[in-house]
């Protein structure tokens, strides 16, 4: 039986704070976010469905920002944080950058991941020329974070067309997400961008056909680029399905939390 305060415990500390006799899903946030980025309706909704989540702060973010110290953001350190958060085998859920990390974890440890949920995720860039161009872009952004500070960078980051659909959010929800982002450390974010960006991480396109983990590819209908990526992934993976959520862009869990929860809980309950 799950503890009655499972949702609040999940928000405070993830897997370390909950009963390990049940296999809790592990949630990985996106770039500039933290474990606080998962809206309350998500964490409480999963808990009500008998799936109270373990929340992870990825390298360079939240409690893993390395305030005052040289940040240590690497793919290896990210995978180690994921490994420590779960009681495996367990379900693994990632959003955007977190989806990339989740996919790398599932590829490296297929026996540990029972079911995989990738929200607005990608296996990376297929060609070295694409990755090199992206590394140059990410390096310029990383330098900008350090030079201008987090608040100025977050303003720039939120102005991207990718997040245009956030303008329809309740002002309080937008303000909450911005507050979470600006609490991050500039050196931590720069380190994460350099080490965990799509230009740096190896492509997993050629490994998708061997990944047999049941996978849900969750995308917003207004995020056309990632709808196309999800459909291409599903055509390659042995056991993957695509759910396109209406009236949502890149951040489905934020823009349509009830629909996100219904799709994810139904998939994990299987």
Is it true that the peptide bond before 89 is cis, omega within 30 degrees of 0? Answer: yes
**What residue ranges define each of the domains in the chain, with the CATH number in brackets?**
6-269 (3.40.50.1820)
Contact 117, 270 (CB under 8 A): no
User: Measured between alpha carbons, how far is 141 from 119 in angstroms, rounded to an integer?
Assistant: 23
What predicted TM-score, i.e. pTM, was given to this entire model? 0.90
Contact 70, 194 (CB under 8 A): no
pLDDT score of 131 more than 80: yes
**Per-residue pLDDT tens over the stretch 110-121:** 999 999 999 999
Six-digit token string for 37: 């980025």
pLDDT score of 95 more than 80: yes
Q: Per-residue pLDDT averaged across 2-21, rounded?
A: 39
How many beta carbons lie within 10 A of that of residue 228, not counting itself?
11
**Per-residue pLDDT tens over the stretch 209-229:** 999 999 999 999 999 999 999
**Per-residue pLDDT tens over the stretch 12-64:** 343 333 344 456 999 999 999 999 999 888 999 999 999 999 999 999 998 88
CA dihedral in degrees (60, 30, 182, 70; nearest 10)? 10
- The SS3 assignment for 130 reads helix
């Amino acid at each position: 039986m799950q503890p009655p305060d499972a949702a609040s415990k999940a928000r405070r500390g993830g897997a370390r704070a909950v009963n390990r006799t049940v296999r809790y899903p592990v949630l990985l946030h996106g770039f500039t976010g933290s474990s606080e980025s998962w809206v309350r309706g998500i964490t409480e909704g999963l808990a009500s469905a008998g799936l109270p989540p373990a929340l992870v702060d990825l390298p360079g973010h939240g409690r893993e920002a390395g305030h005052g110290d040289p940040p240590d953001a690497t793919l290896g350190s990210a995978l180690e944080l994921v490994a420590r958060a779960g009681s495996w085998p367990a379900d693994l859920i990632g959003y955007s950058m977190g989806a990339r990390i989740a996919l790398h974890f599932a590829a490296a440890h297929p026996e540990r991941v029972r079911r995989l949920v990738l929200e607005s995720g990608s296996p990376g860039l297929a060609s070295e020329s694409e990755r090199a161009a992206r590394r140059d872009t990410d390096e310029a952004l990383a330098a900008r974070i350090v030079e201008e500070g987090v608040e100025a960078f977050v303003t720039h980051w939120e102005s991207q067309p990718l997040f245009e659909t956030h303008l329809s959010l309740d002002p309080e929800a937008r303000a909450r997400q911005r507050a979470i982002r600006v609490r991050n450390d500039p050196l931590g974010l720069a380190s994460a961008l350099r080490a965990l960006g799509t230009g740096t991480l190896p492509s997993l396109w050629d490994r998708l056909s061997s990944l047999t983990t049941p996978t849900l590819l969750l995308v917003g209908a207004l995020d056309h680029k990632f709808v196309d990526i999800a459909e291409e992934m599903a055509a390659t993976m042995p056991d993957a399905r695509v759910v396109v959520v209406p009236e949502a862009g890149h951040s489905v869990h934020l823009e349509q939390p009830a629909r996100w929860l219904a799709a994810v809980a139904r998939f994990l309950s299987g």
